[in-house]
Amino acid sequence: YSNLTDVVWNGQSKVILNNRIMPYDKKF
């Protein structure tokens, strides 16, 4: 379970980072 939660958390953080980086690239 810990491994699954870690993978899910990493996936969510990656999506959030990508969502934050993409608009930054588009704006700048």
User: Given this model, what pLDDT does residue 23 score?
Assistant: 55
More reliable by pLDDT, 16 or 1? 16
How high is the pLDDT of residue 15? 61
- DSSP states of 1-28 as a string? -HHHHHHHHHHHHHHHHHHHHHHHHHH-
3-state helix, strand, coil split of the chain in percent (to 5) is: 95, 0, 5
pLDDT, tens digit, 9 for 90 and up, residues 7-19: 555 555 566 566 5
The 8-class DSSP code of residue 1 comes to -
Q: Which two tokens stand for residue 11?
A: 């996936």
- 5: domain range? 1-28
Quick check: pTM over 0.85?
A: no
Q: How many domains does the chain have?
A: 1
